[in-house]
Amino acid sequence: MRRDPDYCVWYCKCKKSTGKPIAVFTPEDRKLTWHSTLPKKITNTLVSVEMSFNNTIPIAKKSGATTILNIWTIDGSECD
């Protein structure tokens, strides 16, 4: 069984005017932050991603998202 994702990411067009329309939600601590690009803690890490249409979490649905990107960080032992 796959563990919960480390991050859930989606785009919110209503936040476009703020310059930070990318939502990054951390399910472990239920923290939501807004960004102009993906944070380096995600882009500089080995990850596994999964994306599917019409499959989103409630907090993302509130901002109008119909699709989210689930991201799992991978440590070296998972690559063997």
* Model confidence pLDDT, tens digit, residues 12-34: 999 999 999 999 999 999 999 99
| Residue in 78, 66, 73 with CA at minimum distance from that of residue 44 | 73
What rounded mean pLDDT belongs to the chain? 89
pTM above 0.75, yes or no: yes
Rg (CA), the chain: 13
Locate all alpha helices (DSSP H) within 1-76, ordered by sequence.
40-43, 58-62
